Structure 1
Amino acid sequence: MSVNSFISKALRQSLILNIISQSVPSKEDVDSVIELTASKVVDDLKALSMTLYLVEEKEIVFKFVYFSPILWANNASLEQKFEDKKQKLLALRLPLETGLVGEVIATGESNFFCLDEDGPEKMLDLSKNTEFAVTSMLTVALKSDCRIIGAIQVLNKEPASDGSPRAFTRANLMCLEEVGGYTSALLLRMLDSNYKINEEDAARYISNYTDTPLVTDESDLSFDKTLLARVGADIIRTTNVLPYKLTSKNHVAVLMKNPLDITNREAFSLKTSLSIDEVWVASASLMDTLIKRYCH
């Protein structure tokens, strides 16, 4: 009963490539990060509704609102009702400490709600505003380096394939907190010109949104020194592609800061006659350290 992502994988990767290539982020980049985050959250958590809020001038602003097509099930009039609700919310600005979202933004503490654990009373007002009964909800702060810039909230999990209801779990909450953490860092880089994004946060963001595994410690990998000598230090430095093992005779696994850097991937393969089978994302500082260590 799952719905397709509202951002295709190809478009998601295109947006990521655009964002990370910009030295001076634009408003469009901010919008892209928000849309990418929404797509990631909906896909991973199978949420029927998702809202991303930002704090602007001491007010809570609805920056992104999503309702799953499951909620209207081919009913055109009901679909229009949800679209009207979405547009109304996107135009809304709330005082900073309004409601549960305001509380999460003020404290930085996540909120977990499940009907089976908490009872229906807590969600009566919210259910009136959403047009559907809220049975499960997660709300987390968008925070980085002790700065809170907004919140993400998801409502109700998609039903199982047999139609039976499902609820968010504590593990889902941890996943949402992780997404909120590295998304906040990237948004702060765009909203505050004085903010310097942590390299590890940037690498985690790229890894998650390109579906590429992340390496954070060189001890997690074993480097084939014969392969490194075969490729040569000059090629590794000029392409920023660091091979660490052969996966077959002429195929390799590599580390890159940006797995979507097609130009350097093709240059590496052309110069070495080696095809790249696997890519791992590494932060800029880890790549620099490893290249200095293995490329004399």
Structure 2
Amino acid sequence: MTTKKQKVLVLLGPTAVGKTRLSLELAREYNAEIISGDSMQVYRGMDIGTAKIRPEEMNGIPHHLIDIHDPEEPYSVAEFQEQGGRLIEEISRRGKLPFIVGGTGLYIESLCYGFRFSPAVADEAFRQAQDAFAEEHGAEALHARLAAVDPESAARLHPNDRRRIIRALEIHHQTKVTLSSTQAAQKRESPYELCLLGLTMDRQILYRRIEDRIDQMLHEGLIAEVEGLLRRGCSRGLVSMQGLGYKEIATYLEGEMTLEDAVTLLKRDTRRFAKRQLSWFRHMKEIEWIGDFQEAHYHQNLLLIREIISRKLNL
């Protein structure tokens, strides 16, 4: 006897592409509950820099995996996979549609396809040695170490993403197998009946939206938010404080660069991050892409999205 797979709707795309507005409309139409697929929105008190949806904007639609960790506590993809899988079960039992929305490719893919994670255990001595190397020689030098043994993972990871770079090095150090080859060997069949929707748009338009969003974040109080986190003792070495917006503004607040330079760096790094997001999503072959997701074509795209959902999930 075959067990019927649970239907799961997924909406992904780069930062600032417009996922939030669409997700609310689709959630209302398809009686869905939203599971956030964002590695930064799990942290309490980190609202402006993560573009976190406000409670009053949720329109009564349940949102999960938002504000579940203090910024002092690191959050992992394995935790997300376990919690997200449990939520899919619970939401389905309530007769509602589980709806994953976000831009963290590894998190979303691990949940959709039930990835098994490397058996490599935490080696604190190895991690501390890599951390010390990065402090002495810089982020680029640590990134180069990864590029030498696992160029595919290095291409996906930003040089400032120290935690994930060290984890990839740790996996190779212990198992002599690269993180990228481990991920490539994962079973590609999903335990769910999936409909994956991907949003994108002209690259230059997306970049302008990113820069406008950062300007809006600054207007809404991003500097004060980061200042408050530093004041409560959140050091720049925390996983949470490595997030875009937080590390750049913290650098300014601690006197290491001007505000103008910090904002320029933030805009540049966010554009690069969006490019890496799209590169990650491109290898997920089952995504149905909405390639020109702009306001002028919103209702036309909505009709296309409804057709895709009907075809993939029979809803």
Q: Name the structure where strand makes up a greater proportion of residues.
A: 1
* TM-score between the two structures when normalised by the length of structure 2: 0.23
Larger radius of gyration: 1
* TM-score between the two structures when normalised by the length of structure 1: 0.23
Higher relative contact order (CA 8 A, sep 6+): 2
